[in-house]
């Protein structure tokens, strides 16, 4: 009898979970087209199988109906520039010894909590943990893609000292090519280079070295993306065949020559990674969903302790980059959302969306496309980024329309990642416990 019941229960579960039809929401598909009001879409076996208007999309026999009337659905978001795995988010500690597979998975779960389906780690992943996690996606967590170990002049790459030894230090073209070959053998998703002298404090990757890196990477069908700071480097990298910029130009306003060069290289992606200009009350509320109160308090105090001069400097740096983003956007450059986050995992995506709209000249729809379709194209994740038949069932249900106010991406009602709903309440309770 028990066995019979179990069998019956199995069949009921299998039958009931065969397909789900979500009905009544305003649907923003991620491709930039006009939203579908009063939509319906079907999810079957973790895939989206039909999309249209309610009443016109047929529910498969036995499908579960989910009423989303009054809600707005967007594709799950993607973050094209992260440094996950390093920070212990419960206390903000990050040091030489804090990178771990456990942290990495924790961060990917936090991304899922905030409606993010995938992120792209940009060049500071020591060892093979990143490749193991990439190959074995954790249920309920975002997918990860990686540049593995990036490349710079010796001990002159990332901004933090603890990260510099992780990166390949290259001095000769032969070394550069050998390191690219190693990355290709590991099947890194992209090659990341740092072209920056950190305000004159470190040697900048030499043009003959980055040209060798780009040449060798392209032989392997690998793309090369660059951290840049200076306008002049941006121009020379474009002329050298670079495939993407992981920052905006940050030393000055871009000129017409740079815009022309970008237009001549229409396949180049840019992750803006607008810099921190301080967190708003709404930002603090958002991070409070996944951090213990003491940690939020610590971050708040650190922000309050900033001098007016430091704040003004941050604001000017932000405004310069926002102006450059607006110019890129007006020129039709491929903008993929990126946060550059290591310690601000998850909520930063919503902060970046808001910043791109408030200061960077993007419409809410353009910001959403940057975080969905374009970011998925940059990451070569062709089953993410849009809601259409054949795509993976990764989407976010919102209580309010982000086209009215981009801050409404924070008003999350439900997150579905690879067909399964994230248990946000349980995760939040776990992470916020003191
Ligand atoms: Zn970065």
Residue 132 lies in a domain: yes
Distance 91 CA to ligand 1 centre (A): 21
Same structural domain, 246 and 331: yes
Tokens 């309610």, residue?
54
pLDDT confidence of residue 17: 54
CA distance linking residue 198 with residue 230, whole number of Å? 10
- Looking at the DSSP assignment, which residues form a beta bridge with residue 186? none
Residue 266 lies in a domain: yes
Mean pLDDT for 333-346 is: 97
Same structural domain, 351 and 218: yes
Identify the CATH number of the domain in which residue 425 sits. 2.30.40.10
Same structural domain, 58 and 94: no
Same structural domain, 168 and 233: yes
CA distance linking residue 70 with residue 414, whole number of Å? 13
Distance 273 CA to ligand 1 centre (A): 8
CA distance linking residue 182 with residue 11, whole number of Å? 49
Distance 285 CA to ligand 1 centre (A): 25
Q: Which of 13-17, 23-27, 164-168, 405-409 has the lowest mean pLDDT?
A: 13-17
Distance 383 CA to ligand 1 centre (A): 25
Q: Are 205 and 151 in contact (CB under 8 A)?
A: yes
Residue 7 has pLDDT above 70, yes or no: no
Q: At what angle do helices 308-330 and 256-264 cross, to 10 degrees?
A: 50
Distance 342 CA to ligand 1 centre (A): 8
The string of pLDDT tens digits covering residues 70-105 is: 999 999 999 999 999 999 999 999 999 999 999 999
Residue 9 has pLDDT above 80, yes or no: no
Distance 259 CA to ligand 1 centre (A): 23
Residue 89 lies in a domain: yes
Q: In what order do the strands lie in the sheet with 19-23?
A: 47-53, 39-44, 19-23, 64-67
Q: Sort residue 170 into left (φ over 0), alpha (ψ -120 to 50) or beta.
A: beta
Same structural domain, 160 and 173: yes
Distance 123 CA to ligand 1 centre (A): 8
- What's the mean per-residue pLDDT of the chain? 95
Same structural domain, 110 and 169: yes
Tokens 């970046």, residue?
352
Same structural domain, 274 and 415: no
Q: 395: closest CA among 134, 107, 105, 22?
A: 22
Distance 169 CA to ligand 1 centre (A): 17
Q: Among 339, 358, 379, identify where a domain stops.
A: 379
Residue 12 has pLDDT above 90, yes or no: no
Distance 36 CA to ligand 1 centre (A): 36
Instruction: Determine phi and psi for 214, rounding to 5 degrees.
Output: -65, -45
Distance 248 CA to ligand 1 centre (A): 12
Q: 73: closest CA among 33, 30, 43, 114?
A: 30
What is the DSSP code (8-state) at residue 407?
G
Distance 170 CA to ligand 1 centre (A): 19
Residue 291 has pLDDT above 80, yes or no: yes
Distance 11 CA to ligand 1 centre (A): 48
CA distance linking residue 184 with residue 177, whole number of Å? 10
CA distance linking residue 53 with residue 89, whole number of Å? 42
Residue 35 has pLDDT above 90, yes or no: yes
Same structural domain, 313 and 373: yes
Distance 61 CA to ligand 1 centre (A): 48
Residue 255 lies in a domain: yes
Distance 423 CA to ligand 1 centre (A): 30
Q: Are 148 and 123 in contact (CB under 8 A)?
A: yes
Same structural domain, 153 and 16: no
The string of pLDDT tens digits covering residues 203-261 is: 999 999 999 999 999 999 999 999 999 999 999 999 999 999 999 999 999 999 999 99
Distance 251 CA to ligand 1 centre (A): 17
In the chain, count of helices (H) and strands (E)? 14, 19
Same structural domain, 95 and 9: no
Q: Sort residue 393 into left (φ over 0), alpha (ψ -120 to 50) or beta.
A: beta
User: Containing domain of residue 247, as a range?
Assistant: 77-379
pLDDT confidence of residue 143: 98
pLDDT confidence of residue 10: 47
330-348 as b/e: b if 16+ CB within 10 A: eeebbbbbbbbbbebbbbb
Identify the CATH number of the domain in which residue 334 sits. 3.20.20.140
Residue 431, CB-side half-sphere exposure with 13 Å CA sphere: 27
Q: What is the pTM of this model?
A: 0.95
Q: Among 346, 361, 379, identify where a domain stops.
A: 379
Give the 3-state secondary structure of residue 20. Answer: strand
Distance 107 CA to ligand 1 centre (A): 16
Q: Among 379, 401, 417, identify where a domain stops.
A: 379
pLDDT confidence of residue 18: 84
Residues flanking ion ligand 1, Cβ below 5 Å: 122, 340
Residue 62 has pLDDT above 50, yes or no: yes
Percentage of the chain with pLDDT > 90? 94
DSSP 357-396: HHTT---HHHHHHHHTHHHHHHHT-TTSSS-STTSB--EE
Distance 75 CA to ligand 1 centre (A): 24
**What dihedral angle (degrees, nearest 10) is formed by the CA atoms of 91, 94, 99, 104?**
50
Same structural domain, 350 and 423: no
Distance 322 CA to ligand 1 centre (A): 18
Q: Count of domains in the chain? A: 2
Q: Which two tokens stand for residue 271?
A: 């992750």
Distance 173 CA to ligand 1 centre (A): 24
Percentage of the chain with pLDDT > 70? 96
Residue 5 has pLDDT above 90, yes or no: no
Mean pLDDT for 10-19 is: 56
Same structural domain, 202 and 144: yes
CA distance linking residue 331 with residue 268, whole number of Å? 13
Residue 22 has pLDDT above 60, yes or no: yes
Residue 384 lies in a domain: no
Distance 183 CA to ligand 1 centre (A): 18
pLDDT confidence of residue 206: 98
What is the DSSP code (8-state) at residue 123?
S
CA distance linking residue 117 with residue 373, whole number of Å? 12
């Amino acid at each position: 009898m028990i066995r019979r019941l179990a069998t019956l229960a199995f069949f009921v579960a299998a039958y009931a979970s065969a397909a789900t039809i979500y009905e009544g929401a305003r649907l923003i598909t991620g491709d930039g087209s006009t939203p579908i009001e009063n939509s319906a879409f079907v999810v079957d076996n973790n895939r989206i199988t039909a999309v249209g208007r309610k009443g016109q999309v047929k529910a498969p026999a036995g499908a579960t109906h989910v009423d989303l009337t009054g809600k707005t659905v967007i594709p799950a978001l993607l973050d094209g520039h992260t440094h996950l795995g390093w920070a212990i988010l419960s206390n903000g500690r990050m040091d030489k010894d804090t990178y771990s597979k456990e942290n990495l998975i924790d961060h990917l779960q936090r991304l899922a909590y905030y409606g993010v389906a995938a992120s792209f780690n940009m060049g500071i992943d020591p060892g093979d943990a990143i490749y193991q996690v990439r190959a074995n996606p954790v249920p309920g967590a975002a997918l990860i893609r990686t540049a593995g170990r990036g490349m710079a002049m010796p001990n002159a790459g990332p901004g933090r000292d603890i990260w510099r030894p992780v990166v390949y230090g290259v001095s000769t073209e032969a070394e550069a090519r050998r390191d690219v070959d190693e990355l290709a053998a590991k099947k890194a998703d992209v090659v990341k280079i740092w072209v920056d002298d950190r305000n004159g404090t470190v040697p900048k990757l030499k043009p003959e070295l980055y040209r060798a890196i780009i040449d060798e990477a392209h032989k392997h069908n690998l793309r090369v993306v660059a951290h840049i700071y200076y306008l002049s480097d941006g121009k020379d990298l474009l002329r050298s065949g670079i495939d993407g910029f992981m920052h905006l130009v940050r030393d000055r306003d871009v000129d017409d020559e740079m815009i022309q060069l970008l237009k001549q290289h229409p396949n180049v992606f840019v992750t803006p990674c607008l810099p921190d200009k301080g967190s708003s009350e709404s930002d603090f509320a958002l991070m409070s969903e996944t951090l213990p109160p003491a940690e939020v308090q610590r971050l708040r105090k650190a922000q309050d302790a900033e001098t007016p001069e430091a704040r003004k400097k941050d604001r000017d740096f932000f405004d310069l980059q926002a102006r450059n983003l607006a110019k890129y956007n007006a020129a039709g450059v491929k903008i993929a959302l990126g946060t550059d986050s290591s310690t601000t995992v998850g909520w930063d995506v919503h902060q970046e969306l808001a910043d791109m709209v408030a200061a960077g000249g993007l419409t809410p729809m353009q910001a959403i496309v940057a975080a969905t379709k374009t970011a998925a194209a940059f990451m070569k994740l062709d089953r993410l980024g849009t809601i259409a038949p054949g795509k993976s069932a990764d989407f976010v249900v919102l209580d309010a329309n982000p086209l009215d106010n981009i801050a409404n991406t924070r008003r999350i009602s439900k997150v579905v990642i690879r067909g399964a709903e994230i248990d946000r309440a349980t995760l939040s309770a776990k992470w916020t416990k003191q």
